């Protein structure tokens, strides 16, 4: 998703190489800290590649991350296949609860990661409800389009069984993945937490998706579970609500269509 208006990104050419510097002002430093923590958490798994971070500090009242510049290498089938295998490896990193011990952001909106034992409870309370309420408060949705907790938890439980909490990128679309010249993918701008692995797949498909080579490689490791298409719509609802709340009415129709499907 797009950066906050308080965040700037620069490519810097130095004698020692090319780097990326991402800066934020004092008010937005918490979001940059969350991004830094997310990149570090993924990097520590040694599964899917993230940019190497050289510094995370403050200068002239601005917080900044200095990190590796990744040169794009083209969308080869081998790179997409490797990305699929790497994402599957990330999704093998498990936890005992859904959520995370810290909150973060999705785009510029706060994302609550309060931990739950139940995926249905987590997805409703920490994902759908906050965005549904915000959309209603902003005048984008009517009350009658927002069902109650029992409705949503029941619908989620009916679609999903025996979900294991796994580490997610959390905002996995093509703009947050660089296919590099080494023949693999590097992910940026994460919104990490432990959730259902299909959330990352749903987001990846929302704006065009990757080549089928990526999905074939991923599902060769993870396996497809029946009912995937309905769950993809359920998980895309969260991201579409976020876009509705950030960018306005152009996303209302898509949100309303999914809400009607799950009514």
Residues marked active site are found at 171
What sign does the CA torsion over 209, 211, 217, 219 have?
Answer: positive
d(CA 112, CA 59): 29
Angle between helix 77-90 and 29-45 (nearest 10): 100
Torsion of CA 57, 166, 195, 34, to 10 degrees: 0
| Cβ atoms of 80 and 210 closer than 8 Å | yes
Give the separation between CA 118 and CA 86, rounded to whole angstroms. Answer: 27
Instruction: Please give the structure tokens belonging to residue 56.
Output: 């995370």
Q: How far is CA 248 from the centre of its chain?
A: 20
């Amino acid at each position: 998703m797009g950066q906050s208006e308080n965040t700037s990104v620069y490519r810097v050419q130095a004698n020692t190489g090319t780097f990326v510097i991402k800066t934020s002002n004092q008010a937005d430093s918490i979001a940059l800290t969350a991004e830094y923590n997310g990149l570090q958490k993924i990097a520590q798994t040694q599964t899917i590649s993230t940019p190497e971070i050289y510094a995370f500090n403050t200068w002239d009242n601005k917080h900044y991350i200095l990190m590796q510049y990744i040169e794009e290498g083209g969308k080869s089938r081998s790179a997409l296949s490797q990305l699929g295998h790497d994402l599957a490896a990330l999704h093998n990193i498990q936890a005992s609860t859904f959520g995370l011990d810290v909150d973060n952001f999705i785009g510029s909106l706060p994302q609550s990661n309060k931990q739950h034992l139940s995926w249905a409870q987590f997805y409703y309370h920490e994902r759908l409800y906050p965005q549904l309420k915000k959309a209603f408060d902003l005048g984008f949705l009517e009350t009658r389009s927002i069902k109650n907790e029992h409705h949503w938890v029941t619908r989620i439980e009916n679609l999903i069984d025996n979900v294991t909490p796994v580490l997610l990128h959390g905002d996995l679309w093509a703009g947050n993945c660089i296919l590099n010249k080494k023949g693999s993918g590097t992910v940026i701008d994460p919104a990490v937490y432990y959730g259902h692995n299909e959330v990352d797949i749903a987001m990846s498909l929302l704006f065009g998706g990757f080549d089928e080579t990526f999905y074939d490689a991923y599902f060769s490791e993870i396996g497809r579970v029946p009912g995937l298409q309905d769950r993809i719509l359920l998980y895309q609802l969260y991201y579409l609500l976020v876009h509705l709340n950030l960018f306005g009415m152009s996303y209302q129709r898509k949100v309303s269509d999914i809400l009607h499907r799950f009514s």
